[in-house]
């Protein structure tokens, strides 16, 4: 007979497999996928920001489709959407009898998972700061190839609704939160406040559940400081605040990730220089590449590789270094094609 521990272990393993499978399908979305699963385990809502065509809806449908037995409901909102479409119409027959009731069946209120699309509109600049389009040219090339080739059969792990519900109500709350993590949370709370980024006490309390869910997903009985990285997604109110929050969190829990973000700033500066040189002669652009861009890109690449090796050896997340490495490849591709005039197919072969 399986014990509660065995059941929890199996559920966590299945959820990790689901994260891996969905991340393999959607390039550069591993962090988003994991965060959505963590939020699901913590019983919290999720809000995914991003411009059209960046797989937000597809990821949501793919993840919820892996929960066997769950009632799924979705709606595409517009300025003309009436609240009754979400929460159910008034029962006219009951109203004729002098009773006010709503018909909830088949609406958001009776679903285990509700996906609400286009919940509001944001500026393009704000959206591009959050999820954005594919940055790594090799991932974009793979995306194009997937449209013209027959996809191979993919593994499809699922989890039963009852097992997921047990994880939410019993498994995740049972994860221990050591005093060292509590101290780290208190330290983290003070850091953003100095920059006038203040999260409510209720959000901090909910954040503890996310930390427990992160540890549960990894199959650990207690929260570790590495789980604090999930807070980069929950302690800001606008996309413009996220970089500040991310740096404060990662500086505390993941030093190699903090350095990777510093390298990302250097890459942004390099790309800004390229933009500023638009229209200059090929000779001037080539000289800039030789004297500045080439060395900076090479040094960033070597350092990112080292940071990734150090993170793997220490058991820390490589998400930040991988993301910045993709950013470096994208900037390098621009430099080779726009500054040196190389053919795009030749650049792709070198990346």
Most confident of 61-75, 203-217, 329-343: 203-217
- Nearest by Cα to 34 from 67, 50, 12, 6: 12
| pLDDT above 50 for 130 | no
Residue 121 confidence class, pLDDT cut points 50, 70, 90: very low
Give, as one character, the DSSP assignment of residue 150: P
- Predicted pLDDT at 259: 87
Q: What whole-number distance in Å separates Cα of residue 256 and Cα of residue 309?
A: 10
| Residue 115: strand pairing partners | 74
Residue 220 token pair: 């650990």
Report DSSP state, residue 54. Answer: S
Question: For tokens 């597809």, what's the residue?
Answer: 58
- Tell me the pLDDT tens digit for each residue of 37-96: 999 999 998 888 877 788 888 898 899 889 998 888 887 777 777 767 766 677 777 777
174-198 residue pLDDT tens: 999 999 999 988 888 887 666 777 7
CA atoms of 298 and 136, how far apart (whole Å): 16
Mean pLDDT of 92-111: 72
Is the whole-model pTM more than 0.75? no
At 146 the pLDDT is 64
Residue 199 is classified by DSSP as: -
Helix 201-217 crosses helix 30-41 at what angle (to 10 degrees)?
A: 110
pLDDT over 70 percentage in the chain: 81
Domain boundaries, the chain: 1-70+112-127+153-174, 175-249, 254-350
Query: 92-118 b/e with 16+ CB inside 10 Å = b?
Result: eeeeeeeeeeeeeeebbeebebbbbee
């Amino acid at each position: 007979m399986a014990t509660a521990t065995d059941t929890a272990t199996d559920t966590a393993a299945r959820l990790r497999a689901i994260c891996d499978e969905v991340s393999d399908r959607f390039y550069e979305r591993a962090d988003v996928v994991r965060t959505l699963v963590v939020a699901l385990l913590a019983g919290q809502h999720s809000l995914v920001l991003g411009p059209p065509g960046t797989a937000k809806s597809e990821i949501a449908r793919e993840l919820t489709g892996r929960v066997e037995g769950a009632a799924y409901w979705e709606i595409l909102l517009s300025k003309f959407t009436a609240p009754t479409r979400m929460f159910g119409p008034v029962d006219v027959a009951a109203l004729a009898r002098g009773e006010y009731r709503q018909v909830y069946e088949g609406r958001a209120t009776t679903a285990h998972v509700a996906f609400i699309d286009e919940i509001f509109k944001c500026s393009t600049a704000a959206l591009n700061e959050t999820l954005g389009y594919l940055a790594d040219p090799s991932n974009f090339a793979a995306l194009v190839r997937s449209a013209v080739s027959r996809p191979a059969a993919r593994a499809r792990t699922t989890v039963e609704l009852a097992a997921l519900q047990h994880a939410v109500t019993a498994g995740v709350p049972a994860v221990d939160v050591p005093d060292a993590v509590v101290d780290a949370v208190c330290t983290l709370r003070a850091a953003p406040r100095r920059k006038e980024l203040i999260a409510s006490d209720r959000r901090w309390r909910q954040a503890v559940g996310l930390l427990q869910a992160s540890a549960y997903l990894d199959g650990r009985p207690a929260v570790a400081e590495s789980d604090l990285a999930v807070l980069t997604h929950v302690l800001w109110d606008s996309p413009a605040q996220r970089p500040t929050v991310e740096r404060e969190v990662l500086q505390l829990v993941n030093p190699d990730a903090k350095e990777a973000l510093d390298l990302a700033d250097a890459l942004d500066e390099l790309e800004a220089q390229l933009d500023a040189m638009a229209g200059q002669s090929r000779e001037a652009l080539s000289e800039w590449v030789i004297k500045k861009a080439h060395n900076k890109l090479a040094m960033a690449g070597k350092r990112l590789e080292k940071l990734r090796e150090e993170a793997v050896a220490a058991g820390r997340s490589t998400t930040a270094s991988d993301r910045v490495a993709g950013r470096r490849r994208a900037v390098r591709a621009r430099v080779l094609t726009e500054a040196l005039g190389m053919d795009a197919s030749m650049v792709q072969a070198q990346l």
